[in-house]
Structure 1
Amino acid sequence: MCTSLIAGEKATADGSFIVARSADSAAIKAQHFVHHPARQGQKGIYSTKAHGGVNDFTYPLPENSLAFTTIPFWKTQLHGAAGFNEAGLGLTGTESIFASEAALAVDPYVKETGITEDDIADVLLSRCRTAREGAMTLGAIIEEKGAGEGFGVAFVDQSEVWYLETGSGHQWLAQRTPADKYFASGNQGRFQDYDPESTDMMASKNLVEFAIEKGLYNPEKDGAFNFSKAYTRDDDRDRIYNDPRVWVMQKYFNPSLVQDPEAGRTFPVYLAPEKKVTVEDAKAMMRDHFEGTDHDPYSQGLRGDEPWRPISVFRTYEAHVLQVRPWLPKELGEVIYVAMGMADLSVFLPFYAGLSRSPESWTKGSDQGEADSAYWKFRRVQTLAMTDYPKLAPIVKKTWADFEADAKVRQEAMEAKVLELFEVDRAKALAELEAFNLGLIAEAERTAEKLLEKLFVIRTVDIEAVVPAKNRKNKD
């Protein structure tokens, strides 16, 4: 269960591509950050089952695998969430999407051997070089092998950004995000129009014909083909679980837009933002939980019965923002900002494409809360803060807001220096970039450790005040 945001290059404040997603499943699901080396002369088969994944999907390994990064689940090292490869292709996947019962009745998911979110990052980043190729290759796999579940995947490179949605076990549609618009999604099929003649769209070979043949779409009765209506679920679950998340993102970027928060099927697929999108905006969206409204489940004390599902939930295991600045060298211009755990109470840290290795602490962590794991350093802070959100969350938020503001200034200075060095000494430039990046991440971890100590002292005093067990003279 996730929430996604995509902004085209003319919809952003600086001309970059921005792709963000909050990955939600379980709070105890520790994540790593992994660098996969390039491999030459490979033979054999990629196997999900061999890694202990969810099913038995297999696919030929690329003979020459590109180097790439992923943010995988600790136990399997699959389900890679997001990453860039050495060719400059970035990917985030997946947004869970639910096909309608009618669509699944005629074309069910291939649960035993179809491709799932376990596989997408590793299979595609190892072989594809562009966003268009990534979407096309994934679509071909869906048609050939089937999808093991419903999903949406975003692909971005230095020229364009694409998003693919599944419709059923073998049907799919992908669209290039218009340069001057943004796209927001929350666990539902959002695509509507399909023009098979458009170079900005691609789909399964018989997308419309199949829908007609199986009774999912009647041209005479339904009018123009609508992908979402033909293939994806739209019922009362969407009204409170999915629609409000898309509504709040569209309201953020288009404040003048008036929409019923529970009318998701009628929301525009793409919008030109009234305010240009920034990386900070994307972070804010990943942190959103309907603050200032009656639907905020945290600020007035934890309310598990709140019907609206916010973007930032405690069971988020990581959120990320991918940024591509095409005017810069890929090593500097392609960045993944990663927030481990619940984004609302976490810090977004940059991982530049030029970083050659993962910090050791980001390769550790399971379901046991290890102290030397980056995931658990940030998660422990969040868990403790949630025991008294109104009192402790402001402390955590201010700490990370100050950290991010300071980091942004320092990043700008570093980038200017490294960009100059690229002109004369590329190796020295990359060494400078790596030293800065690793140092900033280490500093954030130390800040998390100090923050945890501070929160423990506060909670210790609070609890002692509630159960002092002192005598009448306040003596032992």
Structure 2
Amino acid sequence: MKKIYAIASLLLAIIVFSTTTSQACTNYLVTRGASTDGSNMITYAADSHVLYGELYFRPAADWAEGTMIDVYEWDTGKYLGKIPQVPHTYSVVGNMNEFQLAIGETTYGGRSELGTGKQEGALIDYGSLIYLTLQRAKNAREAIKVMTELVENHGYYSSGESFSISDKNEIWILEMIGKGNGEKGAVWVARMIPDGYVSGHANQARITTFPLEGKNSISSDKMDKIFNPEVTNVYAKDVISFAKEKGYYPKDGKNKEFSFSDTYAPVDFGAARFCEIRVWSFFNDVKEGMDKYFDYCKGKVEHDEKGYATNRMPLWIKPDNKINVLEVMDFMRNHLEGTELDMAKDMGAGPYGNPYRWRPLTWKVDGVTYCNERATATQQTGFSFVAQSRNWLPDAVGGINWFGVDDAASSVYFPMYCGSTRVPKSFAVGNGKMMEFTNKSAFWVFNQVTNFAYTRYNAIHPEIAKKQKALEKKYLSFTKIIDLAAEGMFKTDEAAAVEFLTDFSCNQGDNLTDEWREFYGYLFAKFMDGNIKEKDGNNQNPKMKQPGYSKEFYETIVKTTGDKLKMSGDSH
């Protein structure tokens, strides 16, 4: 049994390595009772080296009976086929719709035979599943129903996915994996995060055991009961029987001991070290005592006789203190600071403490494999957001998609109200592409600043962080005023209120891009050529410092070069 498990773990490690280098994302979930203002919040970092960061917009629309919609795979643009359109679709800004419903995801891969493209004739990939659902559902429970029915009716094209689904009252996590070839659809489990708790997922399935049929739990053949508020767990009726049929779980195994994650996506070194550690970094920031899971997150996974991991983290935790939206933004900027794996502290950080490592994720020396860390903040982020849903406001006002492009550590989240009917031009789809640079695009403007900072991180990034904080605090102050004004306008002129919110959101986004473009010029002038320059009053020449490298780095140079650079004789 252990030998079979070891082989399976090796195969799954390959899958995890492949997934985390292509489409690797991070989601954090904060329920109303865990937030300072009573809002639900989920985050999403869309991480891919080839994903162009832009803000999608799909206006509400009515459709004639019999209309079909084309489905394209989100990652590649591959045409998958047509499905029937619904009579009316809702307005969607980014990953949030007009009713404050927001959806994020992370890819965990799972068993390779159930992965992307393995189900012949499948039409729904995970990206299309998100955006189709946002156009068709008003709340999280309805979203789960729509998502699971879409893959049941049209097949599931992608590999294993974890979805964060939030509305103004609840937050759910839905984990899904396809059935492979020969059987349409997917198996899945969805669980509501208890109010007052936080959760997260980052490219590793996290739902283990779950309550079976009962007062609070239903199977998919009773989906009509999902809108009962007492129901907090829902699962595919064949999620266990399918695993037994395929040999993933013993036929005589007890159903109550069945773990979704350990069966369909077992945790191995890569899953823990590259994926679970990002969830841990969030948990560790909000609760004391999480250090007991650090060995697990470093890749020391312990297993029982079934091959199930025994030392993994809980699906959700109760934070020690309530969390505000600015803190949530900062959680997305973590590089494992303050731990022994702090990416700014080892030789790979270079002379300027750069907490980034260029790919590949793993590498070999003398036949031995080593790894770089995969932290929450990463260079390959296309876009990220903090979706905030607030149930005490009209929907168009209550939902804010705090949106940013490029690396979250150096991005700025600006407020995009979910009721907006257009998006800022500098963030709009079609304004540049991955291989088509334009200085009018927020994605390219932010990448200029970020990539310049990578060259001398400990000198340049503090300036970025200072400006980032100032802008986000300003935006938060603005939204408090905008909330009041728009809420009042809704009582007399809803259309005017929506236009007011749209103008505000678009102005903030485009003004941010303009300001960041000027900021790049300031940084470039100050830090070019390895110098640090400051204006010196009205003098022609600026004040200049040439800080060189750190003492530790100079010592490393001497250790690795010996007397090669040593000056001899009486030199001055």
- Shared topology, TM-score over 0.5? yes
| Maintained 8 Å contact 2:46/2:383 | yes
**Partner of residue 225, structure 1:** 258
In the TM superposition, residue 318 of structure 1 has moved relative to its aligned partner by 0.9
Report which of the two structures shows the higher radius of gyration computed on alpha carbons.
Answer: 2
**Partner of residue 472, structure 1:** none
Q: Answer with 358-367 or 305-314: which moved more.
A: 305-314
Match of 2:103 among 80, 84, 91: 91
In the TM superposition, residue 112 of structure 1 has moved relative to its aligned partner by 6.2
Structure 2, unmatched stretches of 5+, are 1-23, 180-185, 218-230, 298-308, 362-370, 533-545, 548-572
Could you tell me how far apart the structure 1 residues matched to 2:117 and 2:248 are?
14
* Residue 362 (str. 1) matches residue 427 (str. 2): yes
**Partner of residue 382, structure 1:** 450
Could you tell me how far apart the structure 1 residues matched to 2:39 and 2:150 are?
30
Deviation readout 1:302-332 (Å, 9 max, x if unpaired): 5447632100100011111111100101111
3-state SS, counterpart of residue 393 of structure 2: coil
| Maintained 8 Å contact 1:142/1:171 | no
**Partner of residue 78, structure 1:** none
| Maintained 8 Å contact 2:73/2:125 | no
In the TM superposition, residue 456 of structure 1 has moved relative to its aligned partner by 1.3
**Partner of residue 25, structure 1:** 48
Supply the AA of the counterpart residue of 1:89.
Answer: L
Deviation readout 1:9-38 (Å, 9 max, x if unpaired): 212222111111111001662423324332
* Residue 272 (str. 1) matches residue 318 (str. 2): yes
| Maintained 8 Å contact 1:158/1:324 | yes
In the TM superposition, residue 428 of structure 1 has moved relative to its aligned partner by 3.8
**Partner of residue 284, structure 1:** 330
Deviation readout 1:102-125 (Å, 9 max, x if unpaired): x749x9842763422331233212
**Partner of residue 324, structure 1:** 389
In the TM superposition, residue 89 of structure 1 has moved relative to its aligned partner by 2.5
1:310-321 alignment, distance < 5 Å: 310-321=375-386
| Maintained 8 Å contact 2:72/2:128 | no
Deviation readout 1:25-63 (Å, 9 max, x if unpaired): 016624233243323325333223499723515422112
Could you tell me how far apart the structure 1 residues matched to 2:516 and 2:48 are?
23
**Partner of residue 426, structure 1:** 494
Supply the AA of the counterpart residue of 2:84.
Answer: P
* Residue 196 (str. 1) matches residue 208 (str. 2): no
**Identity fraction in percent:** 22
3-state SS, counterpart of residue 208 of structure 2: coil
* Residue 48 (str. 1) matches residue 81 (str. 2): no
Match of 2:281 among 234, 241, 248: 248
Could you tell me how far apart the structure 2 residues matched to 1:28 and 1:53 are?
11
3-state SS, counterpart of residue 447 of structure 1: helix
In the TM superposition, residue 393 of structure 1 has moved relative to its aligned partner by 0.7
Deviation readout 1:157-177 (Å, 9 max, x if unpaired): 233222211144321111112
Q: Answer with 5-14 or 55-64: which moved more.
A: 55-64
**Partner of residue 74, structure 1:** none
* Residue 239 (str. 1) matches residue 272 (str. 2): yes
* Residue 403 (str. 1) matches residue 471 (str. 2): yes
**Partner of residue 129, structure 1:** 138
3-state SS, counterpart of residue 13 of structure 1: coil
Supply the AA of the counterpart residue of 1:451.
Answer: F
**Partner of residue 173, structure 1:** 189
Could you tell me how far apart the structure 1 residues matched to 2:258 and 2:462 are?
48
Structure 1, unmatched stretches of 5+, are 71-81, 467-476
Match of 1:333 among 398, 409, 414: 398
Match of 1:159 among 169, 182, 207: 169
Could you tell me how far apart the structure 2 residues matched to 1:117 and 1:202 are?
19
| Maintained 8 Å contact 1:331/1:354 | yes
Could you tell me how far apart the structure 1 residues matched to 2:414 and 2:120 are?
35
3-state SS, counterpart of residue 109 of structure 2: coil
| Maintained 8 Å contact 1:190/1:228 | yes
Could you tell me how far apart the structure 1 residues matched to 2:322 and 2:247 are?
42
**Partner of residue 474, structure 1:** none
* Residue 36 (str. 1) matches residue 67 (str. 2): no
Supply the AA of the counterpart residue of 1:172.
Answer: W
Could you tell me how far apart the structure 2 residues matched to 1:451 and 1:382 are?
11
Could you tell me how far apart the structure 2 residues matched to 1:249 and 1:50 are?
31
3-state SS, counterpart of residue 308 of structure 1: coil
Going from structure 1 to structure 2, the CA distance change for 1:29 and 1:322 (only over 3 Å counts) comes to same
* Residue 349 (str. 1) matches residue 414 (str. 2): yes
May I ask how many residue pairs the two structures share in their alignment?
452
TM-score by length of 2: 0.73
